[in-house]
Amino acid sequence: MGLFDSIGKFVEDTAKDVKNTAEDVGGFVEDTAKDIGGVVNKNVNKIRKGIKQGETFIRKGIKKTLVKTEKGLKKAGFNKNFGKDFKRGFLKVAKALQMPQKWIEEHDVTAPYLGGFSILGLAASFGLSPITTIGFLEQIAVDPKLQQKLKDGDLQTILDLSLSPLAFVPGSGSIAGKGAKKGLKAATKNIGRFF
Protein backbone atom coordinates (compact mmCIF):
# COMPACT_ATOMS: atom_id res chain seq x y z
CA MET A 1 0.00 0.00 0.00
CA GLY A 2 1.54 3.30 -1.05
CA LEU A 3 1.70 6.60 0.75
CA PHE A 4 -1.15 8.09 -1.26
CA ASP A 5 -3.35 5.03 -0.76
CA SER A 6 -2.91 5.25 3.00
CA ILE A 7 -3.64 9.01 2.92
CA GLY A 8 -6.79 8.35 0.88
CA LYS A 9 -7.87 5.63 3.32
CA PHE A 10 -7.23 7.98 6.24
CA VAL A 11 -9.44 10.65 4.62
CA GLU A 12 -12.24 8.19 3.92
CA ASP A 13 -12.06 6.81 7.49
CA THR A 14 -12.08 10.34 8.90
CA ALA A 15 -15.08 11.26 6.74
CA LYS A 16 -16.93 8.15 7.96
CA ASP A 17 -16.07 9.02 11.57
CA VAL A 18 -17.35 12.57 11.06
CA LYS A 19 -20.54 11.22 9.50
CA ASN A 20 -21.05 8.69 12.33
CA THR A 21 -20.44 11.37 14.93
CA ALA A 22 -22.91 13.65 13.17
CA GLU A 23 -25.50 10.89 13.16
CA ASP A 24 -24.83 10.12 16.82
CA VAL A 25 -25.17 13.78 17.75
CA GLY A 26 -28.32 14.02 15.65
CA GLY A 27 -29.73 10.87 17.30
CA PHE A 28 -28.91 12.19 20.75
CA VAL A 29 -30.51 15.53 20.02
CA GLU A 30 -33.58 13.82 18.56
CA ASP A 31 -33.97 11.54 21.58
CA THR A 32 -33.70 14.53 23.89
CA ALA A 33 -36.31 16.34 21.83
CA LYS A 34 -38.70 13.38 22.06
CA ASP A 35 -38.26 13.28 25.83
CA ILE A 36 -39.16 16.92 26.11
CA GLY A 37 -42.27 16.23 24.14
CA GLY A 38 -41.29 16.81 20.52
CA VAL A 39 -41.38 20.57 20.86
CA VAL A 40 -37.99 21.02 19.26
CA ASN A 41 -38.36 18.32 16.64
CA LYS A 42 -38.58 20.75 13.75
CA ASN A 43 -35.36 22.53 14.79
CA VAL A 44 -33.56 19.23 15.38
CA ASN A 45 -34.19 18.22 11.78
CA LYS A 46 -32.71 21.50 10.63
CA ILE A 47 -29.64 20.96 12.83
CA ARG A 48 -29.20 17.39 11.59
CA LYS A 49 -29.56 18.53 7.99
CA GLY A 50 -27.01 21.29 8.56
CA ILE A 51 -24.53 18.85 10.16
CA LYS A 52 -24.89 16.42 7.24
CA GLN A 53 -24.37 19.22 4.71
CA GLY A 54 -21.31 20.43 6.63
CA GLU A 55 -19.88 16.91 6.80
CA THR A 56 -20.36 16.43 3.05
CA PHE A 57 -18.78 19.80 2.32
CA ILE A 58 -15.73 19.02 4.52
CA ARG A 59 -15.27 15.52 3.05
CA LYS A 60 -15.39 16.85 -0.54
CA GLY A 61 -12.96 19.64 0.34
CA ILE A 62 -10.46 17.21 1.89
CA LYS A 63 -10.68 14.86 -1.09
CA LYS A 64 -10.12 17.70 -3.58
CA THR A 65 -7.15 18.97 -1.60
CA LEU A 66 -5.60 15.50 -1.40
CA VAL A 67 -6.04 14.87 -5.11
CA LYS A 68 -4.35 18.19 -5.92
CA THR A 69 -1.55 17.47 -3.43
CA GLU A 70 -1.02 13.99 -4.85
CA LYS A 71 -0.79 15.35 -8.41
CA GLY A 72 1.67 18.02 -7.28
CA LEU A 73 3.88 15.49 -5.50
CA LYS A 74 3.91 13.21 -8.53
CA LYS A 75 4.89 16.13 -10.78
CA ALA A 76 7.71 16.96 -8.34
CA GLY A 77 9.09 13.41 -8.68
CA PHE A 78 7.75 11.85 -5.48
CA ASN A 79 6.65 8.47 -6.75
CA LYS A 80 7.16 4.83 -5.76
CA ASN A 81 10.77 4.91 -7.04
CA PHE A 82 11.74 8.04 -5.11
CA GLY A 83 13.84 6.15 -2.53
CA LYS A 84 15.79 4.21 -5.15
CA ASP A 85 16.30 7.28 -7.31
CA PHE A 86 17.47 9.35 -4.34
CA LYS A 87 19.93 6.63 -3.29
CA ARG A 88 21.27 6.33 -6.85
CA GLY A 89 21.73 10.10 -7.13
CA PHE A 90 23.38 10.28 -3.70
CA LEU A 91 25.84 7.56 -4.75
CA LYS A 92 26.67 9.38 -8.00
CA VAL A 93 27.41 12.58 -6.10
CA ALA A 94 29.55 10.66 -3.61
CA LYS A 95 31.64 9.12 -6.39
CA ALA A 96 31.91 12.45 -8.21
CA LEU A 97 33.34 14.09 -5.09
CA GLN A 98 36.11 11.48 -4.99
CA MET A 99 37.01 11.63 -8.68
CA PRO A 100 39.43 14.60 -8.72
CA GLN A 101 41.75 13.04 -6.12
CA LYS A 102 41.57 9.58 -7.73
CA TRP A 103 42.24 11.00 -11.18
CA ILE A 104 45.29 12.92 -10.01
CA GLU A 105 46.72 9.87 -8.23
CA GLU A 106 46.09 7.60 -11.24
CA HIS A 107 47.68 10.03 -13.72
CA ASP A 108 50.75 11.02 -11.70
CA VAL A 109 53.72 10.30 -13.95
CA THR A 110 56.18 10.30 -11.05
CA ALA A 111 54.41 7.53 -9.11
CA PRO A 112 56.03 4.57 -10.95
CA TYR A 113 59.49 6.02 -10.20
CA LEU A 114 58.69 6.41 -6.49
CA GLY A 115 57.35 2.91 -5.86
CA GLY A 116 53.70 3.86 -6.38
CA PHE A 117 53.84 6.94 -4.11
CA SER A 118 52.09 9.84 -5.81
CA ILE A 119 53.70 13.20 -5.05
CA LEU A 120 51.04 15.04 -7.06
CA GLY A 121 48.35 13.08 -5.23
CA LEU A 122 49.87 14.11 -1.90
CA ALA A 123 50.03 17.76 -2.96
CA ALA A 124 46.44 17.67 -4.26
CA SER A 125 45.19 16.02 -1.08
CA PHE A 126 46.01 19.19 0.88
CA GLY A 127 43.01 20.87 -0.68
CA LEU A 128 40.90 17.90 -1.76
CA SER A 129 40.94 15.69 1.34
CA PRO A 130 37.81 17.15 2.99
CA ILE A 131 35.84 16.87 -0.27
CA THR A 132 37.15 13.36 -0.98
CA THR A 133 36.39 12.28 2.58
CA ILE A 134 32.82 13.59 2.39
CA GLY A 135 32.40 11.66 -0.86
CA PHE A 136 33.74 8.47 0.75
CA LEU A 137 31.48 8.81 3.79
CA GLU A 138 28.46 9.43 1.54
CA GLN A 139 29.39 6.41 -0.57
CA ILE A 140 29.75 4.08 2.40
CA ALA A 141 26.35 5.25 3.66
CA VAL A 142 24.49 4.07 0.53
CA ASP A 143 26.72 1.63 -1.40
CA PRO A 144 25.90 -1.97 -0.44
CA LYS A 145 29.11 -3.28 -2.09
CA LEU A 146 31.29 -1.02 0.03
CA GLN A 147 29.27 -1.88 3.14
CA GLN A 148 29.78 -5.57 2.40
CA LYS A 149 33.54 -4.99 2.03
CA LEU A 150 33.52 -3.37 5.44
CA LYS A 151 31.59 -6.30 6.93
CA ASP A 152 34.00 -8.77 5.32
CA GLY A 153 36.96 -6.97 6.91
CA ASP A 154 38.55 -5.47 3.78
CA LEU A 155 41.68 -3.73 5.07
CA GLN A 156 41.61 -0.83 2.58
CA THR A 157 37.97 0.00 3.34
CA ILE A 158 38.56 -0.17 7.09
CA LEU A 159 41.62 2.09 6.75
CA ASP A 160 39.79 4.62 4.60
CA LEU A 161 36.91 4.76 7.06
CA SER A 162 39.03 4.89 10.21
CA LEU A 163 41.38 7.58 8.85
CA SER A 164 38.67 9.71 7.24
CA PRO A 165 38.22 12.00 10.27
CA LEU A 166 41.82 13.20 9.84
CA ALA A 167 40.65 15.29 6.89
CA PHE A 168 38.68 17.49 9.27
CA VAL A 169 41.26 17.85 12.05
CA PRO A 170 42.78 21.33 12.10
CA GLY A 171 46.33 21.05 10.91
CA SER A 172 45.68 17.87 8.97
CA GLY A 173 46.16 19.96 5.86
CA SER A 174 49.77 20.50 6.90
CA ILE A 175 52.58 18.45 5.42
CA ALA A 176 53.05 16.58 8.69
CA GLY A 177 49.36 15.71 8.97
CA LYS A 178 49.08 14.52 5.36
CA GLY A 179 52.36 12.69 5.53
CA ALA A 180 51.30 10.94 8.73
CA LYS A 181 48.01 9.89 7.18
CA LYS A 182 49.62 8.58 3.97
CA GLY A 183 52.45 6.89 5.89
CA LEU A 184 50.10 5.22 8.35
CA LYS A 185 47.95 4.01 5.49
CA ALA A 186 50.93 2.56 3.61
CA ALA A 187 52.35 0.90 6.73
CA THR A 188 49.04 -0.68 7.63
CA LYS A 189 48.61 -1.97 4.09
CA ASN A 190 52.04 -3.61 4.23
CA ILE A 191 51.28 -5.15 7.63
CA GLY A 192 48.01 -6.49 6.22
CA ARG A 193 49.88 -8.35 3.47
CA PHE A 194 51.55 -10.58 6.03
CA PHE A 195 48.24 -11.83 7.46
| Domain match, 66 and 86 both | no
| Domain match, 26 and 102 both | no
**Cα 63 → chain centroid:** 28
| Domain match, 68 and 117 both | no
From first to last of its 195 residues, the chain has per-residue pLDDT tens of: 555 566 667 667 776 776 777 677 667 767 766 666 555 556 667 777 777 777 777 777 777 777 777 777 777 667 777 777 788 888 888 888 888 888 888 888 888 888 878 888 888 877 888 888 888 888 888 888 888 988 888 888 888 888 777 777 665 444 545 555 666 666 556 555 555
| Domain match, 102 and 173 both | yes
pTM of the model: 0.47
Among 75, 91, 122, identify where a domain stops. Answer: 75
Among 75, 101, 117, identify where a domain stops. Answer: 75
Supply the DSSP symbol for 10.
H
| Domain match, 126 and 177 both | yes
pLDDT of residue 41: 58
pLDDT of residue 35: 64
Round the CA-based radius of gyration of the chain to a whole number and report it: 33
| Domain match, 48 and 66 both | yes
pLDDT of residue 154: 86
Whether residue 156 contacts residue 189, with contact meaning beta carbons closer than 8 Å, is answered with: yes
pLDDT of residue 146: 87
Q: Which domain holds residue 11?
A: 3-75
**H helices of 39-154, where?**
41-75, 82-106, 119-142, 144-152
Q: How many domains does the chain have?
A: 2
- Class of residue 83 by CB neighbours under 10 A (exposed 0-12, middle 13-18, buried 19+): exposed
| Domain match, 189 and 146 both | yes
d(CA 73, CA 141): 26
Listing DSSP states for 76-95 in one string gives TT-STTHHHHHHHHHHHHHH
| Domain match, 110 and 40 both | no
Among 75, 103, 129, identify where a domain stops. Answer: 75
